[in-house]
Amino acid sequence: MLLKDDWEFNVLGIYNYRKPGPLSHYFDYIVEHHDHIDGDICEAGVFKGRALLATGLLLKELGSSKQVYGYDTFQGFPPIYHGNDDVTKFDYLLKEGKISKEHYAKVKKNQSFRSIDVKTGLSPENISLSGDFSNVRIEDIQHKIEFLDVDNVHLVPGPFSTTMTDTRAYPKEIMAALLDCDLYMSYKIALPFIWKQLSIGGYVFLDEYYSLKFPGARFATDEFFENRIDKPHKHKLEMGDFERWYVRKLNTDE
């Protein structure tokens, strides 16, 4: 099904890749490189499928045979959080020069805003407006897949520790990935899995590297790339927007 107008995307709860937005760089990369970089698309952290379904629709529009694999528990965050996910870890990131004073000021402002609604103390499970992301039903996403006829979209339910393993048959190669899984351990598992299969020239959008809510993602990403040639880079900042970070695999430094 082809969606044209903004209201159509909104009613269906799908990201509108036709207009500027926080994922513009990600979708622009797919448009520009889908026909000459091998591999499928991988999304780690699906929630209600807003970006995943958009990717499937875009690939159909492009006439691409690439497939989209969406990894998620589809039950919300795991019950145990790593210490690096604690919202106070932003203090350490500032002290170590990992984030700017401007970024830290936005973090603190966001925390003050959330404190209006959260009375029991801020934590990884309440710092986001979506809470612990448990308000989701995989059946609803599957229904939209069938309704939109995006048979190129595949859901992979379960914890990353059991789904993102070398024993999985697909995807065998990855062209682009959207890493949107918030937590330290999720990034620690997802990044190596994606990077190993990422084609040369492939692209990973690091959704939480600039996060105002989840510090663990930056810890995990910096640890992964510490001894690698390829490093995360910041996209050109648009007026009034957050930082948007990505990494491209240009070297084989396993």
CA triple 185-217-9, angle to 5 deg:
105
**Record: fold of 6-82+135-248:** Rossmann fold (3.40.50)
Run of H or E including 144? helix 138-148
Domain parsing of the chain, residue ranges: 6-82+135-248
pTM of the model: 0.94
pLDDT tens for the 254 residues of the chain, in order: 889 899 999 999 999 999 999 999 999 999 999 999 999 999 999 999 999 999 999 999 999 999 999 999 999 998 889 999 999 999 999 999 999 999 999 999 999 999 999 988 999 999 999 999 999 999 999 999 999 999 999 999 999 999 999 777 678 899 999 999 999 999 999 999 999 999 999 999 999 999 999 999 999 999 999 999 999 999 987 766 778 999 999 987 65
Lateral strand order in the sheet of 198-206: 153-157, 68-72, 40-44, 174-179, 198-206, 245-248, 233-234
Q: Is the peptide bond before 171 cis (omega within 30 degrees of 0)?
A: yes
Both tokens of residue 118? 């959260």
Exposure on the CB side of residue 237, measured as CA atoms within 13 A: 7
- Whether 57 and 152 have beta carbons less than 8 Å apart is answered as no
Give the number of residues written for the chain: 254
